[in-house]
Structure 1
Amino acid sequence: MTGAPRVPAAPRAERRPHRREHHGRVFVDDYEWLRDKDAPATREYLEAENAYTDAMTAGQKPLEDEVYEEIRSRVKETDMSVPVRAAGWWYFSRTSEGLSYARHCRVPVPREFVADPGDPAGWVPPEVSPGVELPGEQMLLDGNAEAEGHEYFALGAFSVSHDGRVLAWATDTEGDERYTLRFRSLDPDYTAPDEEISGIAAGVTWSRDGQYVFYVTVDEAWRPDTVWRHRLGTTRDDDDEVFHEPDESYWIGVGETRSEKYLQIAAGSKITTEVWCLDSADPAGEFWCVRPREEGVEYDVEHAVVGGLDRFLITHNAGSPNFAVVEAPAGPVDRDFRELDPLVPHRDDVRVEGVDAFARVLVLGYREQALPRFSLMPLDPASTAGVEAYSVFTPVEFDEELFTSGPGSNPEWDAPVLRFGFGSFVTPGRIYSLALATGERTLLREQEVLGGYDPAGYVQRRDWATAGDGTLVPISLVMAVDTAARIDAGEKVPTLLYGYGSYETSIDPAFSVARLSLLDRGMAYAVAHVRGGGEMGRLWYEQGKTLTKRNTFTDFVDCARHLVDTGLTAPDRLVAEGGSAGGLLMGAVANLAPDLFVGIQAVVPFVDPLTSILMPELPLTVIEWDEWGDPLHSQEVYDYMASYAPYENIEAKDYPAILAVTSLNDTRVLYVEPAKWVARLRAVSTSADSAERPVLLRCEMSAGHGGVSGRYERWRQTAFEYAWTVRTAGAG
């Protein structure tokens, strides 16, 4: 048609049939050749996809720039965090306008407060002003200087020794989550050794004496499998292997109890854990096992001091699907957890998430009615050891329908105050200090939103969709007041429906500056809390994994239908979004109910799960068998996964507009999955080449699973995705 915009030709990946056969089932994969990351043809294809996406989204560039400027204008670019007290110092970070990364700093706590740690006045953080240096301020690490010359930069560790003299820090400049550990002296009277340890996993743990650090390395499948002990001043060749996990279904991690009394190694699969401890006063000693692993039993261990005696508080699921807390003398446990003294009994309607133990109080984290909450139990230091030493957990209450709450940064075990956080879809994140002696709350900081943000201009609420089997599925909603009024008047509004639904991960109510650019354009934002997540407890998760995984997808479809049937939106105004395992959800939904959505955005999407889970040599595959099942050895699992795998179930029908976003250096969900998915959609679907429903792939060539690094780059990426969403949903 004369005057119609010209649609550029979409890339067409060459078809190179690759036969895959398991359990007598054959699948011919035309695009498996894209797995060769270094092949020129693969790079050419990805670059062609990026060029096509740029061309197809060129018209949204003014909107993208507008959204980017909105995000930037609402953020206080020159800012600082609330200082956190630890070992005689106040630690905080500064950000500066025009710089992508934070500078990490500290100032000393006044001597009189160090001498009397029980004085509540000593726990009032100093006033830190943007751009104004405090007396005695010391910059520990400048992320901008460290990132210079690198397209990607991420910190994997930032840990100061207990005596405050040495910083251990680790960086990744590729996006592959493999870090290089270095040390830096923070004391002019001490010279830190010039040492470098490369190829480690994220995180390090110091010994109490500051002589050792413990770190983790990975195997060929990039599974954290070995804990090492490094003594400062020695070479890596001298490091001791203190723990190795040979079982390919287990990860390991190293840390310490909050009291710093015990170093800990945790080994865990998706369904089983095992904890090893070592008295931190003996960092060169041997770790001992708290209780040997038992398949299907998960537990963690916290250390408390009650009546002057060391106790272990153990959160476990032995006979308690939603977990319970028991207590025992500190040391190896030779009894079933169910035989130990109960502290928090199991409840069908409350998911216990763990206990933090301080000198003065226990903090219980739990989840009720799809909301994260916490409660407090004071400890009486005059009491004798045992159950009688405990009182009652008291919930910390808030006055919003939807919210997220929980303890914040509290590194000091004997502090007279507890720092906690609170926020919601409409309330910017807050940090409070709670006086343990009086219960008085002090607001330390509320996230500042520039430009006159008024929470009264927005509303949030909870809806419930009915799944096909009668299960009620919670939906969280947030929108502008004006948008709610339009819905009440019978108008169907553009809506973004987000979902995840795997690994017992919960998507909790939280404020987002960037999201305002959607809400202020008349969009509603909804979260479908589908089975497979953890919002409604352990059974909620169990009903959306392995051979019940399809509940995750049908729940999301039922939530979308609920929004349509209740008159909030319409299929031509509804966009779905999910990332990683939530990207698998997006791919499955695209096949199940393409007519319900005008667009689907899939970020680093796990859309070729069967191929990946059949390859134990790939990073993390064996670990994933507890989540998805083992199709390599089970025909039942193979057939079940084949029934929903997005890549394999693409059909010759119209699909919504699709935007897939991936990263070349992602080690969790390889770029090849969305690349193959897009290639097959183009070849099979009947709508992929249309200007109205294009299938787009954007591959970041210098990024990892979390996308690009640097806040400005992340804002730009968000602006691109939001501009696509706004245009696709037809928002104003």
Structure 2
Amino acid sequence: MLLRRVGIAIPASSASASLLPRRRALLLLPLPLLPHTGPPISSRPPFSAFAMATPPVAKKVPRQLVQHGDVRVDNYYWLRDDSRSDPDVLTYLRDENHYTATVMSDVKKLEDEIYAEIRARIKEDDIEAPLRKGQYYYYKRTLAGKEYVQHCRRLVPTDAPVTIYDVMPTGPNAPREHIILDENVKAEGHDYYSIGAFKVSSNGKLVAYAEDTKGDEIYTVYVIDAESGKYVGQPLQGITSDIEWAGDDYLVYVTMDIILRPDKVWLHMLGSDQSNDICLYHEKDDMFSLGLQASESKQYLFVESGSKNTSFIFYLDVSKQNKELVVLTPRIYGIDTTASHCGNHFYIKRRSEEFYNSELIACPLDNVAETTVLLPHRESVKIQDFQLFENHIAVYERQNGLPKVTAYRLPATGEPIGQLQGGQEIDFVDPAYDVEPEQSQFDSSVIRFHYSSMRTPPSVFDYDMDSGVSVLKKIDTVLGGFDASNYVTERKWAAASDGTQIPMTILYRNDRVNLDGSDPMLLYGYGSYEVCIDPSFGRSRFSLVDRGFIYVIAHIRGGGEMGRKWYEDGKLLNKRNTFTDFIACAEHLIGNKYCSKEKLCINGRSAGGLLMGAVLNMRPDLFKAAVAGVPFVDALTTMLDPTIPLTTSEWEEWGDPRKEEYYYYMKSYSPVDNVKAQAYPNILVTAGLNDPRVMYSEPAKYVAKLRELKTDDNLLLFKCELGAGHFSKSGRFEKLREDAFTYAFILKALGMAPKASL
């Protein structure tokens, strides 16, 4: 519905992947419990005979980087290879991978055990909650032992009863299941495979899907006949995953420029050659990127051109023969808008410096300048999203750091539109949780949403906005004897250095911890792009929690959990608040006996990897081990180079270091620039060779400089996936291997790994 630039784990099929912040974390959330049945745990140093391998030493080729009269010497700049084919670079990366495998070989059995635990919690043969669209139920199916999903549908029986809570019939008399697309078949012969969009035409006859076989997030789009699977026309090459149907004969899609900035939106007529496609709009300002979304009514497409502070919208009327873009909201610096459509009105969420938590307005289709406020701006409530139905609107908000969903009835046709009144708020039971909108039927009174918490498995609910009744459509089965009552979730607050209260969400098993400072802990943080790291459920974490770990998410500034100001207070010249908030959370947890310095491990990915690098430079004494996944650690050098993907569009996030004030501020925290001769904790760093968001060379340079300068003998490991991108491997079980490897490293660093036979 809305054009989303941010959000954790939004499926690419329902959100604009090209507009997700490029240097962001993929939050890997915990899943159910399996009792630990492996070898006895013993306390010992993290080293063994296996760990005595000699680490690679990157050659030093000094390069002077000069800006504002300041000279930085980068000895490892040579590791950056835009073609990713330089033999010296690839040799170095392979040497690092070999060293890491050698050092970790003594805990390979533990890694395999953890992997088996995580996988054993998964019901491998399963289907998601079907959604009725037109004359079909659509859903995805997973098969035992298979890495990827099948996209399926069944006909709605002609004699099916009409109910509010629609149920797909099954059994021998039910309509046959038809597999539209089997990703397992398509993935054969590819080390990496991902479908970023799967869009069914309005008549249900055709499907357009976007395919990435490298992990570089540059897609090829195919159109197939939904019944036969036969290709229709030629594929569209080199585009983003933003595609939408404009009627049954046209596709609208977005392409990128040389620095991978989505800059052009195109109209494609089925059966024609891509070279004949019509460019509907070209965004020439390199601070702005394009995104594409369809209204829930499917009558309009919306093209948003947005930077970090400003966005404006065009619309396209799908029903019109002349398919052209029309301005909906003007381009005004500091005003950010997203839109959808219902009936005779456009609905717009608008943010500005005055209304920083957004207001919700509506305007008639025939007079977009005539606006009516539906929900006014409130200082304590952030409007995050909304979802439209024929007669209702569901508003997703945040208050006191927690999501809330409120349903309102829209005025009947012909009634004047005005401020929304009498909304029905949906109740949630956990002290902290995650709620995300799911695709719903536009002509229904039922809103579908996804709910989970740190101890509540992913659940899909249908909520009737007229009666206020919720029906659980599906809850993920968690195998291995999982019992939510064995776990405790808490919400605590830590005082930052300036007195700001920082929320934290805590998970632990009530029969495995002492809460006397002796328990091991994994503390996760992100804190960028206004992303909300809500405490959703994640299978993998329980392999630590069931071993007595406490798992904590620090909801630090730079994220969006506490509203827009929370984000503003952790970006640009306020970025150091993100790091000091995280340190304050760690100190609070230690001071309140949740853990000790000797047992505290930390984890962050992407921009959260920058967080890891910054706090390790600032307070290396505070942590026992750190995992920095695909970390954005060479921030200053990257943001000085507009030829690198995403740099220009992110000057409003980090600052433009071509300006002296931002240069010296970024230099004060950029991890690579602040590595120094001091003792560091045990560190694992990961990268993806094809990563378009954080170039593999950033973590590679970071590790090389750490090896050169650090004064300790603690572990420093670097693992680069040579056939993947920002989000690691693509298969659902392959991804679990990364979790198992990470947890084996943490247990090894803490001396909690079973002793290996030497």
TM-score category, normalised to shorter length = over 0.9
1:724 maps to which residue? 745
1:80 maps to which residue? 127
Distance 1:730 1:240, change over 3 A: same
Q: Secondary structure at the match of 1:295?
A: coil
1:477 maps to which residue? 506
Could you tell me whether the CA contact under 8 Å between 2:149 and 2:182 is conserved in 1? Answer: yes
Taking the aligned partners of 1:133 and 1:492, their CA distance within structure 2 comes to 59
2:363 to 315, 328, 332: 328
Taking the aligned partners of 2:482 and 2:417, their CA distance within structure 1 comes to 51
Taking the aligned partners of 1:312 and 1:3, their CA distance within structure 2 comes to 62
1:29 maps to which residue? 74
Distance 1:722 1:3, change over 3 A: closer
Task: Give 1:130-279 correspondences, 5 Å limit.
Answer: 135-187=175-227, 193-208=232-247, 210-279=248-317
> How far does the alpha carbon of each residue in 1:513-553 deviate from its partner, in whole angstroms, 9 at most, with x for none?
11110110000000111100000000000000000000000
2:139 to 92, 95, 107: 92
TM superposition shift of 1:136? 2.3
Q: Greater CA deviation, 634-643 or 296-305?
A: 296-305
TM superposition shift of 1:88? 1.4
Task: Give 1:675-686 correspondences, 5 Å limit.
Answer: 675-686=700-711
The answer to whether the aligner puts 1:668 opposite 2:708 as a matched pair is no
Distance 1:232 1:213, change over 3 A: same
Q: Secondary structure at the match of 1:552?
A: helix
Amino acid at match of 1:40: P
1:350 to 371, 381, 384: 381
Could you tell me whether the CA contact under 8 Å between 2:121 and 2:479 is conserved in 1? Answer: yes
The answer to whether the aligner puts 1:16 opposite 2:61 as a matched pair is yes
> How far does the alpha carbon of each residue in 1:160-187 deviate from its partner, in whole angstroms, 9 at most, with x for none?
1010001111211111101111111124
Distance 1:644 1:438, change over 3 A: same
TM superposition shift of 1:385? 2.3
Task: Give 1:493-572 correspondences, 5 Å limit.
Answer: 493-572=519-598
1:398 to 402, 410, 428: 428
Please, which runs of 5 or more residues in structure 2 have no aligned partner? 1-46, 754-758
2:14 maps to which residue? none
TM superposition shift of 1:246? 0.3
Amino acid at match of 1:398: F
TM superposition shift of 1:126? 3.2
Amino acid at match of 1:358: F
Task: Using structure 1 for the length normalisation, give the TM-score.
Answer: 0.94
Task: Work out which structure has the larger RCO, using CA pairs closer than 8 Å and 6 or more positions apart in sequence.
Answer: 2
1:467 to 482, 489, 496: 496
Taking the aligned partners of 1:349 and 1:9, their CA distance within structure 2 comes to 55
Could you tell me whether the CA contact under 8 Å between 2:349 and 2:358 is conserved in 1? Answer: no
Q: Secondary structure at the match of 2:664?
A: helix
TM superposition shift of 1:327? 1.9
Q: Report sequence identity in percent.
A: 39
Q: Secondary structure at the match of 1:626?
A: helix
Taking the aligned partners of 1:377 and 1:5, their CA distance within structure 2 comes to 62
Could you tell me whether the CA contact under 8 Å between 1:362 and 1:379 is conserved in 2? Answer: yes
Taking the aligned partners of 2:354 and 2:48, their CA distance within structure 1 comes to 69
The answer to whether the aligner puts 1:458 opposite 2:487 as a matched pair is yes
Q: Secondary structure at the match of 1:479?
A: strand
The answer to whether the aligner puts 1:434 opposite 2:463 as a matched pair is yes
Distance 1:237 1:332, change over 3 A: farther
Q: Secondary structure at the match of 1:385?
A: coil
Amino acid at match of 2:718: L
1:317 to 349, 352, 355: 352
TM superposition shift of 1:135? 2.8
Taking the aligned partners of 1:729 and 1:351, their CA distance within structure 2 comes to 40
Taking the aligned partners of 1:145 and 1:246, their CA distance within structure 2 comes to 40
1:120 maps to which residue? 163
Report the number of matched residues.
706
1:111 to 145, 155, 158: 158
Amino acid at match of 1:237: S
Please, which runs of 5 or more residues in structure 1 have no aligned partner? none
> How far does the alpha carbon of each residue in 1:587-641 deviate from its partner, in whole angstroms, 9 at most, with x for none?
0011000000001100000000001000001111100100000002x00100000
Q: Secondary structure at the match of 1:588?
A: helix
Amino acid at match of 1:431: V
Could you tell me whether the CA contact under 8 Å between 2:164 and 2:446 is conserved in 1? Answer: no
Taking the aligned partners of 2:97 and 2:187, their CA distance within structure 1 comes to 25
Amino acid at match of 1:124: V
Could you tell me whether the CA contact under 8 Å between 1:197 and 1:236 is conserved in 2? Answer: yes
Distance 1:491 1:483, change over 3 A: farther
Could you tell me whether the CA contact under 8 Å between 2:155 and 2:175 is conserved in 1? Answer: no
The answer to whether the aligner puts 1:40 opposite 2:71 as a matched pair is no
The answer to whether the aligner puts 1:424 opposite 2:458 as a matched pair is no
TM superposition shift of 1:398? 1.4
TM superposition shift of 1:432? 1.2
Taking the aligned partners of 1:69 and 1:261, their CA distance within structure 2 comes to 47
Taking the aligned partners of 1:350 and 1:226, their CA distance within structure 2 comes to 35
Distance 1:498 1:3, change over 3 A: closer
Could you tell me whether the CA contact under 8 Å between 1:495 and 1:729 is conserved in 2? Answer: no
Taking the aligned partners of 2:641 and 2:341, their CA distance within structure 1 comes to 40
TM superposition shift of 1:316? 3.0
> How far does the alpha carbon of each residue in 1:427-456 deviate from its partner, in whole angstroms, 9 at most, with x for none?
111111122332222111111100110000
1:635 maps to which residue? 660
Q: Secondary structure at the match of 1:673?
A: helix
Taking the aligned partners of 1:3 and 1:506, their CA distance within structure 2 comes to 40
Q: Greater CA deviation, 673-682 or 315-324?
A: 315-324
Taking the aligned partners of 2:224 and 2:126, their CA distance within structure 1 comes to 25
Amino acid at match of 2:94: E
TM superposition shift of 1:341? 2.4
Q: Greater CA deviation, 556-565 or 399-408?
A: 399-408
Could you tell me whether the CA contact under 8 Å between 1:300 and 1:316 is conserved in 2? Answer: no
Could you tell me whether the CA contact under 8 Å between 1:373 and 1:406 is conserved in 2? Answer: no
1:68 maps to which residue? 115
Q: Secondary structure at the match of 2:461?
A: strand
